[in-house]
Structure 1
């Protein structure tokens, strides 16, 4: 399994996953999947180009409660094992490690259900970290739910350390979350 820059060649697998009921947005589920299908059917090439939006040129992002927040720079990579297997994304604000309240973490990932429990999320995160480091971040924050033990194992396997327990903003349901940090600064040589 490798992470790849989305291309038109990969798009049929992405469409098939959406049509099977998978959603790249675990919070908004089916609604987000329908929106993705509608967007890509309007202009497949533009959809692919928008997967790499390091200048935040796309429109606002829709939050779980339906409200919207300003887009920030970011990019998405797709998990690929000969066919589409999921998505991993990175977002940041230039010149700071801080994120706006409507963006809970620097990295998010989602593996299609029929490819879970194969270590793909762990591999994808490991492959993504050098790309995040290349954007100039000294660390990456990743959030998960307290009950999502699989995600916690993925983060910890990649060097993540629990940084804080927090209450998510109202737009995310005001539920408890866990925020991990992964250092992207190489350790000093002895």
Structure 2
């Protein structure tokens, strides 16, 4: 989770949770609001909050709108990283995606995010190319497909 997200959570938990889970739209970094996709969201914990993971999708298709970077997104708070939480959370969310009819899911990460790349590869991810992120900074993103079975 970003520092900004953690600060928003600290300042107003109810509003943060509404924006993350209940709002019918999401706000993109450029300020635009787009419809929220159906999703399954989970908090990662070990008795304390460690992060979150979510599977978002359009029913019946692997396709995603251009505003959605991948089917699965996850984040672990900085003080809980490098303990295997993200790897285990991804492993546990794959059957959720399979139950929705997906044989594989797409996950992207920044080219410089070696930790995320390791999480994806540890769960069977197959590299499918790099692309320039359309957002601010134009970072290079890596795309992987991870089988759900």
Give the corresponding residue for 1:65.
30
Equivalent residues in 2 for 1:28-107 (5 A)?
29-30=3-4, 32-36=5-9, 40-41=13-14, 47=18, 51=21, 58-107=23-72
Give the corresponding residue for 1:174.
138
Computing the radius of gyration over CA atoms, which structure comes out larger, 1 or 2?
1
Give the corresponding residue for 1:4.
none
Decide whether aligned partners of structure 1 residues 134 and 126 sit closer, same or farther in structure 2, where only a CA change above 3 A counts: same
Distance in 2 (CA, whole Å) between partners of 1:77 and 1:161 is: 24
Give the corresponding residue for 1:156.
121
Any idea what the Cα deviations from partners look like across 1:115-158, whole Å, max 9, x if unmatched? 11111111111111111111111211100011111110000000
CA contact (8 A) 1:142 1:181 kept: yes
TM superposition shift of 1:65: 2.4
CA contact (8 A) 1:62 1:68 kept: yes
Provide the TM-score with structure 1 as the length reference. 0.69
Any idea what the Cα deviations from partners look like across 1:47-76, whole Å, max 9, x if unmatched? 4xx74x7xxxx3211112222222111121
Which ranges of structure 2 fall in alignment gaps of 5 or more residues? none
Distance in 1 (CA, whole Å) between partners of 2:111 and 2:140 is: 7
Which ranges of structure 1 fall in alignment gaps of 5 or more residues? 1-23
